[in-house]
């Protein structure tokens, strides 16, 4: 079972990918994690990727897919995998499809965790983080015992730059321009499934599990 998770930043697709990986005993593959692992291990692909990343450039689609295919060729992916954070654009999806087709394989499901922009802005701008110990909170859903103070180490909680409303709006703009066209792409292939990401984490996962079963 080969699955792609889609959804805007903050929609919760990463959490759902982890839950899928646990339930179905398949690897949760994040391209960011693969890049870091290859760079740390000093592989040839990692060295190539690092040349771009050190210059602040995006890693080319062909190289990203090479690194991804190298990962999914490993033994633990024999029963399938769930991709989180890739593909992000139509060209990436096309390169991935072509590479998989050469191996006689294909993606089985593209699952879109659908959340309206206003919900995402409210959800992400409510996050608070402790820079000292890494603990995270949400002022509505997971508030600290004392407002603005970390439960674990007593340090002050902050709103990260990434979670500020203006930053979130910009990230959503990029998502709608670059990544949302994948919804149509996978709809045309007949493999897109959509779940309502505004519900609780457990309810969203129940919907995902119903699709996969």
Residues involved in catalysis: 13, 88, 127, 160, 171
Structure tokens at 79: 């029963």
Structure tokens at 144: 């600290």
Structure tokens at 186: 């996978």
CB 14 within 8 A of CB 30: yes
134 phi/psi in degrees, rounded to 5: 90, 0
Closest CA to 208 of 189, 198, 199, 195: 195
């Amino acid at each position: 079972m080969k699955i792609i998770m889609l959804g805007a930043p903050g929609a919760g697709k990463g959490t759902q990918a982890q839950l899928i990986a646990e339930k179905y005993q398949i690897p949760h593959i994040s391209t960011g994690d693969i890049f870091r692992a290859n760079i740390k291990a000093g592989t040839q692909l990692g060295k190539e990727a690092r040349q771009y990343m050190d210059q602040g450039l995006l890693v080319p689609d062909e190289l990203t897919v090479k690194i991804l295919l190298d990962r999914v060729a490993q033994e633990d992916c024999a029963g399938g995998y769930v991709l989180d954070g890739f593909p992000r654009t139509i060209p990436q999806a096309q390169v991935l499809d072509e590479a998989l087709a050469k191996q006689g394989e294909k993606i089985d499901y593209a699952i879109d965790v659908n959340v309206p922009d206003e919900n995402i802005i409210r959800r992400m701008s409510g996050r608070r983080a402790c820079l000292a110990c890494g603990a995270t909170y949400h002022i509505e859903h997971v508030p600290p015992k004392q407002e603005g103070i970390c439960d674990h180490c007593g340090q002050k909680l902050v709103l990260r730059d990434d979670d500020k409303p203006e930053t979130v709006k910009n990230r959503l703009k990029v998502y709608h321009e670059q990544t949302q066209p994948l919804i149509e792409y996978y709809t045309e292939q007949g493999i897109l499934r959509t779940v309502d990401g505004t519900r609780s984490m457990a309810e969203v996962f129940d919907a995902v599990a119903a699709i996969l079963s």
